Structure 1
Amino acid sequence: MVDVNVTVSGIIMCCDESVCNVNLGRGYTIEKCPLDELPFKNAIMDGRNNLSIDYLTSRIIEDGKIYFICLKKMDTIQIEEPHPHLSADGTYRMSNIDCMCEDQLKPYMDGETQYLNEQINLLRIFKAGNIGFRDIFFNYKFTIGGFISNSVNHTSYYQTRNTLANERFTLSVPETALCNQWLCDYRNEPYTLLKNSIHEFSWGLEQVDLATGFEQYTTALEMTLLPQNQQGKKQMLANRVSALLGGTSQEIQQVHQKMLNFYRFRSESLHDGNGSNITDTELKELENVTREVLKKCIERCKAEYQSNHAITWAEVKNLIMSDLVTQVTLLKNSGALPA
């Protein structure tokens, strides 16, 4: 076996120094770093040696210097040492490709990338802000046969990353403690149970087009709270979201009306090509509604998982929907929701 020294690094976009106190787990640290000291600086500069436009909204400028909030991890993994193989001419050879061991290194990048994306998605549910990655850089250093020194670079690049939205992800001191507890509580199994809905929500956040983002948030809500192929989605979803999020009768009625409006805006955009009612304000409101629904549901996922480690999302969803049917009936009987 060969020991491989791995460095994982990258810029966490659209956040401030408060994120340096977030515990991502799995050995990752977060630091404020000067641009000129980044080991991957050349990879984020354009052909004229200017900072890539993708990173402009993530800069922190102090005393004329540019800083970024960066992620870093040092790790050691093991791979099988490559050996010469018999070639067509009957000799044993080992190519440069063999020495690089790309096929053994890629699974590490894939696993770490998936983990980091899950943590970012959990942060996006915890609080609004355009936090995320454009690139994650992986450097592997190892020696083959005691004398062949290799340095291999991989990059996980996010083609669809929304680099235009400039809303920063920030945390107060009390929020930081709550955020770290949130990550600890809901990573792994609770996240896995709800991951399809979370990914749909996160995909909505990546959209530059307002109408497309609006559509993704609505789909995330339908996936989470409605049966598949449900008829009459508009009224049922409005009832269930308002029952889940509303406190007083007035709040329930306000959420219910908002959801009906949102469905109308979505229909006008999707079927009539008229997205004039979907402004930044409406998009943000639906984003926040979806975020709060997912918070409620991932809390339920954790509770149900603690009671039954074999439970599936389909089973959790049925429990959530059953409870909401009961709540909606009670609210209709009380007059808080229309019969």
Structure 2
Amino acid sequence: MADQLLEIENLRTHFFTDEGVVPAVDGVSMHLRKGETLAVVGESGSGKSITALSVMRLVPNPPGRIVGGRILFGGEDLLAKSEKEMREIRGNRISMIFQEPMTSLNPVFTVGSQIAESLMIHQNMSRKEAWDKAIEMLALTGIPSPQKRVADYPHQMSGGMRQRVMIAMALCCRPQLLIADEPTTALDVTIQAQILDLMKDLQQQLGMAIILITHDLAVVAETADRAVVMYAGRIVEEAPVNDLFNQPLHPYTQGLLESIPKLDQDSERLYAIDGVVPNLLHLPQGCAFAPRCPLASARCHTHRPQLVEVESGRRVSCWLSQAGGEAIAHVS
């Protein structure tokens, strides 16, 4: 399709360890349209971040390796690109905001010099042009006194300020795609709201697409157009955000939504999904969620359901929803 910016087809990224092969991403397929925001949701260990690192071709090797699939960006297969070609794409056409800015920013260089470096490499700017652009980007991300703060080191800034610097660095080359990996996890709710509003404003100004990786469903409801729910390295559900919240089809998605605190309900105990995410070295024979699922049948424990389209724009990997095509009952 002409409006498709990113198409991931049957992506498989494995980690080769002394204990065995870990299928961190196991047959993931998804797409992203130009200007769209796609949320990738799931617990820690579900494969969200490894999927993003695979798109960037930044999976640590060893022990990780992309062993199969295709990643089409603008119709070009990123897995067929050389490392030199990928360096020209990273930070220029595709940018990424990592979870913790303090580990991504170099402590011995000023924030301005780190933003300017990307501009000099990818945009062929002079040092003076890049420095002026760095100040402009800091102002764009809402940092006060950008002419002064551009000369600060990361440790001189608050967490919210450092996250804004990361956004400025990611957007300075006006990328077509921004991957935001838990961009607000370490921030308080007020700063989190400011950062999310900033990302939406910049998305409209720059016309870019966003992949938002998060475990926070409130963030998904606020910012995303569509959502993909991952569990144990695979996609279990995909839907437009409104449909996902109004009528979740997979028991795992239902459990995630049920566990959100509700202001209109007085409850002494919050809902929690029983059990833990399975060890990827020893996945269950059938559906990976079956040992934790209150609706699992004998078939769920022996046969793995495929991810199928149950209606336009909606995919789910669950025997219950595929049996008759009807939405399954909510977990209570």
TM-score range, shorter chain: under 0.3
Whose strand fraction is larger, Structure 1's or Structure 2's? Answer: 2
- TM-score normalised by structure 2 residue count: 0.26
Whose helix fraction is larger, Structure 1's or Structure 2's? Answer: 1
- TM-score normalised by structure 1 residue count: 0.25
